[in-house]
């Protein structure tokens, strides 16, 4: 697997290195040693999937507050999504910056999101499924989010949003130096 830096400190794209033959291919998509070698947190305590029926569905921007902040490794297993991370770590050089990339069944890319990042995505195809490996157990008392269209972030979503939950659409704008 290749681990590629992004424009956000601590966030990475992970791409599988395929070994092809007449049957198809084999690729490793997770390796604790390789992640630890570059200082990433490889702990996985929970895996989740999110299935989305319609193109234009937006989920996010979500995070869990400390002490239950999550590292996430996110992959699109069917369809395609525009996946977005926002750095909410006030001590980071990339504080309040965002990064977005297309994750799809075809490109098989994954994104590594460290603790202190908000995460969300917009589906680019009907019947898109997203698989998450998460480093922390879900804690409803620490669940939080910020608005997907917060003017502070200026996220450039590639398509219009046609479906979003009441909960996600009711998140507040981010407050500078909010503790995540």
Tell me which residues are annotated as active site: 62, 132
Q: Are strands 19-21 and 72-78 parallel, antiparallel or unpaired?
A: unpaired
Where residue 10 falls (left for φ over 0; alpha for ψ -120 to 50; beta otherwise) is left
Rounded distance between C-alpha atoms, residue 85 and residue 62, angstroms = 10
Q: How far apart are CA 13 and CA 4, in angstroms?
A: 5
Q: How far apart are the first and last CA of the chain?
A: 30
Number of residues that this document lists for the chain: 180
DSSP codes, 108-119:
--EEEE-TTEEE
CA atoms within 13 A on the CB side of 123: 22
């Amino acid at each position: 697997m290749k681990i590629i830096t992004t424009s956000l400190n601590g966030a990475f794209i992970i791409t599988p290195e395929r070994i092809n033959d007449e049957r198809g291919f084999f690729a490793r998509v997770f390796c604790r040693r390789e992640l630890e070698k570059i200082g990433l947190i490889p702990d996985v305590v929970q895996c989740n999937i999110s299935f989305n029926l319609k193109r234009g569905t937006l989920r996010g921007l979500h995070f869990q507050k400390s002490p239950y902040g999550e590292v996430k490794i996110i992959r699109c297993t069917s369809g395609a999504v525009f996946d977005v991370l926002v750095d909410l770590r006030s001590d980071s050089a990339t504080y309040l910056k965002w990064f977005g990339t297309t994750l799809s069944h075809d490109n098989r890319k994954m994104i590594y999101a460290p603790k202190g990042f908000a995460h969300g995505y917009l589906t680019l195809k009907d019947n898109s499924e997203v698989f998450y490996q998460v480093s922390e157990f879900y804690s409803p008392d620490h669940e939080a989010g910020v608005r997907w269209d917060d003017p502070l972030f200026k996220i450039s979503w590639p398509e219009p949003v046609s479906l979003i939950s009441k909960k996600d659409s009711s998140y507040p704008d981010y407050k500078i130096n909010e503790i995540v």
